[in-house]
Structure 1
Amino acid sequence: MTKKLLALLTAALVPVAGAAVLSAAAPSEAATDNAASRTGVQPDVVRTDSGRVQSKTVGQARVFDGIPYAAPPVGALRWKAPQPVQPWTGVRESKLGNPCPQQANSEVPKGSTAEDCLYLNVTTPTAPARKPRAVMVWIPGGGFFEGAGNSYEASKLAARGDVVVVTVNYRLGIYGFFGYPGLPGSGTFGLQDQQAALRWVQRNARAFGGDPRNVTVAGESAGGMSVCAQLTSPTSTGLFSKAIMQSGSCNFNWGDNSQYPGQAADSPWHPIRDVQANGKEWGAEKLPDLHCKPGQSAVDCLRTIDSDVLIDDMFQFTQLGYGGSAVLPLSPAKALQAGLFHRVPIISGNNHDEAAAWLSAFGEIKDYPKLVTAMVGAKKAPKVLREYPLSSYESPAAAWSAVTTDRIWSCTQVSSGQQAARKVPVYAYEFADKHSPLAAPGLGAAHAAELVYLFRPGGIDFPLTATQQTLSNQMIDYWTAFVRTGNPNGPGRPAWSPTGQHEVKGLSLAPTDQTGIHPVNLSTEHHCAFWAGLS
């Protein structure tokens, strides 16, 4: 990394981001054209800077689905930075846009090969507002190879929290994180999409009754890691003033054989040169079968591959490239450790039993010591087995779940919280409801189990008990108070203090018929000093 690039990162990230947001908040012509937004009355049709959009009513919210925020990244625009939208005439109906290409999965059962997918959805309360509302921009998870903003129906979050919620689709896998020698933006196209959506919010928030000076970027899993990337990206300066990272952090990484048998230790962040080398190797296999035109570049020739063929190699590019560009000059983990990130308040947390969601990959778990040895090696395994004795757990599977939850998820999030807390307020938490309707029975508070407490995933009202509904209301109140003010506290819920820099303390979030909401030392509960010493 050159000294010039490091100076750029330092200059861009050290100033308080709130001041930068103020400089970017001049209302667009489209926003000032909406007289209704100035009076606090939300219209059914809103004029964006590219054209008019129609809403539909869901509960106590208006939903504007399927708004394009960038041009379709197809043909010559594949593997390029997002480009401006072509303005339209007439009124676009509220209809979900295509999810970005991905193989069939539980969220997109039929999969998708539609590269015309750069759409976002805006949800606003139907109630009049006395002043512009805070805005929450949600980046979905899915391992950087699946998922869509379309899946996060936000009517209850927007209405109860009195905020505007924007959910975003962005390019995934080989479409979003491909790299090739000499290709500008290698390994970062999905991150650039997210920034394009945040810039769209800056230009259009006022049209929907939102405040472009008060934007929170939030996400879960790969979405949480994306938030970390935006926290450490100079090119996101001025685009948000608060951040929420759920089950995904700057320091996220995993050990050998820890999520799947045969898996190698790694992290989501790779040097751009490695991403480009991967792309060159992949391209060398594909180019001989293509009819490249004389003088055509390798990348331009690869852009001619049909999307339904490209989808077969979706998983070969799921790491984000850093170094050599202003999007991610440093690995987010190194940038955070060096204090090179936007100075904004942060919510950061995990679920109590994150790794339980991956237990099925190991089949019937009987030999717990063998799994530990495969993860940390024969020399370190006895230390782990002493720290997590099988006798302390109801089964080998429960012991393995605890080990991998702490090693992969909780302690990487804790260390990120420790580093960020040196500079900004960090509100740490742990979701601990053992019986979320999004988790299979017996898996406890597994990965993604908290999402039903904030959203209506897929537009479905999942069944919640009375105490779970109370917890959902309290979580929405915490999250949206933070979105509005940078402080999650308020009436009707226990106080939540920012964590210190040494031990990470926060709130455990569970229904009152379990443990209720109470303070927790996350560093101690998840043996984080042990894991820091082991590594």
Structure 2
Amino acid sequence: MTRNRKLLTAATAALAVAAIAITTTAYAQDTDPTQNPIVDTNSGPVRGTDSGTVRTYQGIPYAAPPTGDLRWQPPKKAEPWTQPLDATKSGKPCVQPTDQPIAIPGGEEDCLTLNVTSPTKGDNKKPVIVWIHGGSFTYGDGASYGAEKLATRGDAVVVTINYRLGAFGFLSHPDLKNADNLGLRDQQAALKWVRANASAFGGDNRNVTIMGESGGGYSICGHLAAPKSAGLFDKAIIHSAGCVGSADASMTREQAEKNGEDFAERLDCTDVACMRAKDSETILTAAESGHEGYRPFHGTKTLPLSPSEAIESGRINEVPVLHGSNHDEENGRLAGEELATGTPLTEDDYRKRMRETFGDDAEAVMAEYPVSDYASPSNALGAAQTDANWSTHSYDTQKALAKHVPVYAFDIAEPNAPWFNGMPRPSFTIGTGHMQELAYFYDNALFEKRDGDQERLSDALIDYWSRFVHSSDMNERGLPKWKQFKHHRPYTQKLVADLDAIGRTDYATEHHYDFWKSLNR
């Protein structure tokens, strides 16, 4: 189990108590039922909805159902159809455990669908954003991310996708000859669909940006390294995923096969036929849940090199990259722990946790992050764990990428990010924790609605991001200038709701980069 995944498990378990259920219809539009535009795709016509500002097409199959003999097989082409497909409702989420607040209930194996949101106004040939959701490669779906604001303000066609999760998408076993990073291969199939069909929805199929957060961001690390992803996208936006240095980016094939053998043993199976005969609930029971079980594995045809090795050596698909993380990634997890116990962290707790987390380095870390420098012991612990587990890997990734491709780097540091729906706030200030920035880009039932300041930052972020999507540049009229991150001249943009405070931050100093590198962790 990697440290990042360990650190998130307790938080998500606590959040599950308070968070509301997310449904795949979280952003259903109130539309005139007579307004059902039909678009022809290369598989057949689809009928969507028109709200007056966007047209949405949901639940479009981009591959055949991976069921029966197709379980643990590469994605196959969807069977074509002739009558208009009802694309007014989202498809089913992929099978997943339901023990976390980011889980989507009601999953099925027949889930390889995508959703398209396209502005009704403006010219055709709009850039295309393909959103790859996070969830530790085990949870989530595309339909939960309502893309109307991103599409209209960003003047872009937004595609959100499902891909196989957990044991269905990232299982490896010596007897499963074709089960090579199937979740990534699903994403590749979706990107091929976008290249073939984007123009029918007003998109420019020669200007496709892949965008993802956490597990979705690590997926993009994989696509930068995957030879068969070459030519499927033109730009990449990565949130909260250190492609270089983070064990969460991938595991070895040997690790994955050992996990697969353990999984088969829990199924009481000695051959593939037995494994395929099990129903999805039995598969879920035998598979690991939480945040540590599944991720891409390298040493295969799909992913010959780890993302870290590929990026550092320059053997990548060369596209411009927008990359960054949140200033306070670990604070949400610590909030979940506090709400679960009902007791704020004390200074004694802080010292105990530091020793548990950092072992022989604990004294040095506590000297670098003294409680007296922070508003609370939780803030001090959160800063140390954020910098160790996220910020250092982000900076390493940006430095490595910048040797080969244009890079823009960000640190989302708003002190008051949207909080989780139905969940009390903890005793300490969260800032912007893991995945909280998503509330600025999408409408998702997991988060509270944006207030005025948050709406202003949402506008700025979408304006910056859409500028990159349109032109590979970050400089949007009316917003502070944003320079490229150069390996020899790093530049990181600090992003907050006070637009006058947006600008360059000394990221390495702010996140104690030299200290962490000196520990050789």
TM-score bracket relative to the smaller structure = 0.7 to 0.9
1:248 aligns with 2:241: yes
Of residues 355-364 and 225-234 in structure 1, the stretch that sits farther from structure 2 once superposed is 355-364
2:186 alignment partner, one of 155, 180, 193: 193
Q: Say which SS state the counterpart of residue 120 (structure 1) adopts.
A: strand
Match of 2:294 in 1: 318
Rounded Cα–Cα distance in structure 2 between residues aligned with 1:177 and 1:156: 32
Question: Against the structure 1 CA distance between its residues 84 and 157, is the aligned structure 2 distance closer, same or farther, given a 3 Å change threshold?
Answer: same
Question: Against the structure 1 CA distance between its residues 106 and 147, is the aligned structure 2 distance closer, same or farther, given a 3 Å change threshold?
Answer: same
Q: How far has the Cα of 1:502 moved from its partner? A: 4.4
1:287 aligns with 2:287: no
Question: Against the structure 1 CA distance between its residues 502 and 373, is the aligned structure 2 distance closer, same or farther, given a 3 Å change threshold?
Answer: farther
Rounded Cα–Cα distance in structure 2 between residues aligned with 1:329 and 1:145: 23
Rounded Cα–Cα distance in structure 2 between residues aligned with 1:469 and 1:158: 16
Question: Against the structure 1 CA distance between its residues 59 and 318, is the aligned structure 2 distance closer, same or farther, given a 3 Å change threshold?
Answer: farther
Match of 1:116 in 2: 110
| Residues 132-166 of structure 1, C-alpha deviations (whole Å, 9 max, x = no match) | 11111000001111011111111111111111110
1:334 aligns with 2:309: yes
Indicate if the aligned counterparts of 1:252 and 1:408 stay in contact, CA closer than 8 A: no
Q: Say which SS state the counterpart of residue 315 (structure 1) adopts.
A: coil
Match of 1:274 in 2: 255
Indicate if the aligned counterparts of 2:411 and 2:493 stay in contact, CA closer than 8 A: yes
Unaligned runs of 5+ in 2: 1-34
| Residues 294-349 of structure 1, C-alpha deviations (whole Å, 9 max, x = no match) | xxx811220111111212234264121110x2211011111111111111111111
1:98 aligns with 2:106: no
Question: Against the structure 1 CA distance between its residues 384 and 187, is the aligned structure 2 distance closer, same or farther, given a 3 Å change threshold?
Answer: farther
1:368 aligns with 2:350: yes
Q: Say which SS state the counterpart of residue 377 (structure 1) adopts.
A: helix
Rounded Cα–Cα distance in structure 2 between residues aligned with 1:57 and 1:438: 30
| Residues 52-86 of structure 1, C-alpha deviations (whole Å, 9 max, x = no match) | 11121246111111100011111111111111001
Rounded Cα–Cα distance in structure 2 between residues aligned with 1:390 and 1:89: 65
Unaligned runs of 5+ in 1: 1-41, 254-265, 289-296
1:344 alignment partner, one of 319, 329, 343: 319
Of residues 463-472 and 189-198 in structure 1, the stretch that sits farther from structure 2 once superposed is 463-472
Match of 2:514 in 1: 529
Indicate if the aligned counterparts of 1:355 and 1:404 stay in contact, CA closer than 8 A: yes
Rounded Cα–Cα distance in structure 2 between residues aligned with 1:113 and 1:472: 31
Rounded Cα–Cα distance in structure 1 between residues aligned with 2:403 and 2:169: 33
Indicate if the aligned counterparts of 1:220 and 1:247 stay in contact, CA closer than 8 A: yes
Match of 1:446 in 2: 433
Question: Against the structure 1 CA distance between its residues 416 and 369, is the aligned structure 2 distance closer, same or farther, given a 3 Å change threshold?
Answer: same
Q: How far has the Cα of 1:118 moved from its partner? A: 0.5
1:461-472 correspondence runs (5 A): 462-472=448-458
State the one-letter code of the partner of 2:376: S
Q: Say which SS state the counterpart of residue 124 (structure 1) adopts.
A: strand
Q: Say which SS state the counterpart of residue 143 (structure 2) adopts.
A: helix
Rounded Cα–Cα distance in structure 2 between residues aligned with 1:368 and 1:504: 33
1:482-493 correspondence runs (5 A): 482-493=468-479
| Residues 254-312 of structure 1, C-alpha deviations (whole Å, 9 max, x = no match) | xxxxxxxxxxxx53411112211221222123235xxxxxxxx8112201111112122
Match of 1:381 in 2: 362
2:202 alignment partner, one of 184, 200, 209: 209
Indicate if the aligned counterparts of 2:93 and 2:111 stay in contact, CA closer than 8 A: yes
Match of 2:171 in 1: 178
Aligned-pair identity in percent equals 40
Match of 1:302 in 2: 275
Indicate if the aligned counterparts of 1:135 and 1:163 stay in contact, CA closer than 8 A: yes
Indicate if the aligned counterparts of 2:323 and 2:408 stay in contact, CA closer than 8 A: yes
